[in-house]
Amino acid sequence: GQQLNQSPQSMFIQEGEDVSMNCTSSSIFNTWLWYKQDPGEGPVLLIALYKAGELTSNGRLTAQFGTTRKDSFLNISASIPSDVGIYFCAGQLSDGGSQGNLIFGKGTKLSVKP
Amino acid sequence: NAGVTQTPKFRILKIGQSMTLQCAQDMNHNYMYWYRQDPGMGLKLIYYSVGAGITDKGEVPNGYNVSRSTTEDFPLRLELAAPSQTSVYFCASSSGAGDSNQPQHFGDGTRLSIL
């Protein structure tokens, strides 16, 4: 089946640092989504991207839909402690057979540097 | 604004027992989904529904059943619980797919342990 490669798997941040993570796929997606999951909770949507090349911001978060439609990145600027958590990318197809099903990456875990 | 509500939040089952995980949404969404999340992994689709009376298998449907008698509710049933079904289960809903892909909104999950 389709797979998304999300990297890095984990990273440590210091307050104020910028953070980057990305997802790549061998498949073409029509929508890219970025979610954040806090412990004990469900994923919460951060940014949705619908067009190749689209660059969208949500506060300190910026995400881009790659022009090949096979990749996306998420940047967090000037990180703060509440940014810790697990970030998931998800690609969504819109062909007749998939009914909008999401394919998830394995997540990037953000932790605070000790 | 409740969104997607899952019950129970936690449950421990013995091998061979059955149970139903409940999911309800109050956003009048046609599309609903069940995922499982294993430690250190992303979410994998178990079943989905595009509207009342319509369900279909996802990536990992074995050992589960679903029904969709109303737009609001999408219960997931485990008939014979097995240790491999120990996981966190998430329900999600969205208002559209296809050409009008809409983001999925998730519940807080049900943590299920099979012992």
Q: B33 pLDDT exceeds 80?
A: yes
Q: B98 pLDDT exceeds 60?
A: no
Of A41, A45, A104, Cβ closest to residue B103:
A45
Higher pLDDT, B101 or B62: B62
CB distance B48 to B34 below 8 Å: yes
Q: What is the pLDDT of residue B75?
A: 98
Q: What is the tens place of the pLDDT at every residue in B40-69? A: 788 999 999 999 999 999 989 999 999 999
Of A42, A100, A106, Cβ closest to residue B98:
A100
The predicted model gives B18-46 an average pLDDT of: 93
CB distance B29 to B95 below 8 Å: yes
Q: What is the pLDDT of residue B2?
A: 74
The dihedral through the CA atoms of A2, B31, B99, A42 has a sign that is negative
For residues B102 and A112, give the distance between their C-alpha atoms in angstroms, rounded to a whole number. 33
As averages over each run of 10 residues, the pLDDT of chain A (114 residues) reads: 86 93 91 92 91 93 94 95 94 64 90 81
- Among the listed residues B92, B27, B31, B57, the one whose alpha carbon sits nearest the alpha carbon of residue A88: B92
Residue in B closest to A10 by C-alpha: B40
Residue in A closest to B96 by C-alpha: A100
CB distance A73 to A20 below 8 Å: yes
Please indicate whether, in this complex, the C-beta atoms of B99 and A94 are within 8 angstroms of each other: yes
- Of the pLDDT bands very low, low, confident and very high (cuts 50, 70, 90), residue B17 is very high
